[in-house]
Structure 1
Amino acid sequence: MKKCEKCKVNIIGKRESCPLCQGFLLGRDEEQEEIFPRISSVYKLHNLFFRILILVSIVIATLSVTLNIMIPQRGAWSLFIIGGLVSVWVSLITAINKRNNIPKNIVYQVVIISIALVLWDYMTNWKGWSIEYIIPILCVFAMISMAIIPKILKLKMEDYILYLIIDGVFGIAPLIFILIGILDVIYPSLICVATSIISLSTILIFEGDSMRAEMKKRLHL
């Protein structure tokens, strides 16, 4: 039987590392049934798919940079393609790692995509389309999804109420842009803010007790 000196536990089965701290085990393997089965990750289960996806990304990035060098008159457009590929990979990895918590996944995706869009807008001489159109529309769809998907999956309110609140607060952010006057087109932002206010008001009125209980639990109050 092997032993982990750090955790002070004996480990049954054939293992090279401690299942608790991943440290090295001392002792010899025994012919006993493995208590902690090895569970393959999504990346291992779909190893070939991810290898192909990585190769395709490298090919696209390489070809775009090569063509950009050959035709430099149109500016550094290859950087936007590479930035897009990085954004897709960050979004994909986040979606996979948070796949068991769809509400959290939605919040992460909104934040990641919003940051990527603002950076993209900034790198293209800032036209303001990211904060005037895309981000408000993205927030509205996120709030609608957050209201529908948990009902379809029959999730408990306490499992996603915090993420619904975060998304609602994030949706009110365009109000700041409206007040300081940096938006030329305000209608998408007004719709987003109105949707957020209605969403948060609904939570406070009908799920106020659940919200307070969840906040106390999360903040250890």
Structure 2
Amino acid sequence: MKYCDNCKVSIEGKWENCPLCQAKLSGDDKEQEDTFPVITFVYKEHTKFFKVMLLISIIIASISVSLNILVPQRAWSLFILGGLGSVWASLITAINKRNNIPKNIVYQVMIISVVVIVWDLLTGWKGWSLDYVIPFICVFAMISMAVISKVLRLHIEDYLLYVIIDGMFGIIPIIFLLIGFLNVLYPTLICIVGSIISLSTILIFEGESLKVELKKRFHM
């Protein structure tokens, strides 16, 4: 164990300088282990992968913009740039929320929903984003949460609020249905019915857990 002559304290761990006064420590630390664990970051662990991904994205973006300048019929390169940006936004969100899979799923649903609506608008608005994509990803998210919670044996508190959020998000398309924004009805009807069943199941069987979780989260 090392010793600080200035602070008159013994220091555990592989320190070269005193953490209090930064003075040089005396003694030996050959049999000492670090006091604090070494924390690794996913970005550092997979640096090569992210560098390759970044290089590929830059190459695709550069070639697309260059070709679009040579053939200036439409600004199609903007869609490729938007697609690359969407992929990176989804990838970064997935990595940052990797320790909380239910929250990760909710974030992905929101990101994809915004991206497809913007994409639909930029391509002349065909309505495919509201007709198909958003309803199906909401249903897929609910099914994924149910399967993952069982496989990983998650506690109800770990994913309860995220199921509620996704269920409420899945009911929103009823607004588009009522105001006549939809061209195809069955995906939205499947999404709405699935969301109602999911929310009803939680309220009926997990009502008390939901109250406890809401009180804990919102300090009620």
Tell me the TM-score range normalised by the shorter chain.
Answer: 0.7 to 0.9
Post-superposition shift, 1:26? 5.2
Preserved contact between residue 95 and residue 105 of structure 1 (Cα < 8 Å): yes
Q: Equivalent pairs: percent with the same residue?
A: 62
Q: CA deviation at 1:183?
A: 1.2
Letter in 2 for 1:68: N
Aligned with 2:40: secondary structure? coil
Q: C-alpha distance in 2, partners of 1:38/1:28?
A: 23
1:215 paired to 2:214? yes
5+ residue gaps, structure 1: 3-9, 19-24
Aligned to 2:75: 76
Q: What are the ranges of 5 or more consecutive residues in structure 2 without an aligned counterpart?
A: 5-10
Q: Distance in 1 between matches of 2:21 and 2:123?
A: 58
- Which structure: larger Rg? 2
Residue pair 2:171, 2:196 contacting (<8 A) in 1 also? yes
1:29: Cα distance to partner? 5.6
Match of 1:42 in 2: 42
2:8 aligned partner: none
| Cα separation, partners in 2 of 1:26 and 1:124, compared to 1, 3 Å | farther
Query: Corresponding residue for 1:133?
Result: 132
Give 3-state SS (helix, strand or coil) of 1:72's partner: coil
Q: For 2:100, give the aligned amino acid.
A: N
Equivalent residues of 1:139, 1:167 under 8 A apart: yes
Q: Please report how far the alpha carbon of residue 158 of structure 1 lies from its aligned counterpart in structure 2 after TM superposition.
A: 0.8
**Which residue of structure 1 lines up, in the alignment, with residue 58 of structure 2?**
58
**Alignment match, 1:27:** 22
Q: How many pairs are equivalent? A: 206
- Equivalent residue number for residue 200 of structure 1: 199
Residue 22 of structure 1 aligns with which residue? none
RMSD: 2.1
- Conserved 8 A contact 1:128-1:183: yes
Is 2:12–2:34's contact at 8 Å kept on the other side of the alignment?
Answer: no
Change (3 A) 1:56 1:15: farther
User: 1:21 matched to which residue of 2?
Assistant: none
Preserved contact between residue 120 and residue 127 of structure 2 (Cα < 8 Å):
yes
Runs of 4 or more off by more than 3 Å in structure 1?
Answer: 10-16, 28-33
Alignment-mate amino acid for residue 216 of structure 1:
K
Cα distance, 1:38 vs. partner?
A: 2.9
1:149-164 matched pairs, under 5 angstroms:
149-164=148-163
Instruction: Measure, in 1, the Cα distance between the counterparts of 2:154 and 2:38.
Output: 29
Secondary structure of 2:198's match? helix
Q: Structure 1 length normalisation: TM-score?
A: 0.87
